């Protein structure tokens, strides 16, 4: 397990994740401009969430397309 600490609007949050997932979270937050050791604005976290939500929706569409393609074979 690995701790990931994040401060948002003056509130500090510490969350334990499995090592591999923690590394993913840290990398993804960094891509979104969120720093672990400074206070972050809430809108940055919202943007990070929306970016991941868009990515997830895109993956779901791709999976559905693959399923339809496989079903037609």
- Over the stretch 3-61, which tens digit does the pLDDT of each residue have? 999 999 999 999 999 999 999 999 999 999 999 999 999 999 999 999 999 999 999 99
The pLDDT-based confidence of 73 (bands split at 50, 70, 90) is: confident
Nearest by Cα to 32 from 59, 12, 52 = 52
Rounded CA gap, 73 and 71, in Å? Answer: 6
Q: How many domains does the chain have?
A: 1
Range of the domain at 32: 2-71
Which region holds residue 18: left if phi is over 0, alpha if psi is between -120 and 50, else beta? beta
17: β partners: 2
């Amino acid at each position: 397990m690995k701790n990931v600490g994040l401060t948002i609007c003056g509130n500090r949050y510490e969350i334990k994740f499995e090592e591999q997932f923690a590394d993913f979270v840290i990398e993804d937050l960094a891509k979104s401009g969120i720093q672990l050791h400074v206070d972050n604005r809430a809108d940055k976290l919202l943007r990070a969430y929306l970016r991941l939500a868009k990515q997830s929706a895109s993956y779901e569409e791709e999976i559905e397309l693959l399923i339809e393609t496989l079903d037609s074979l």
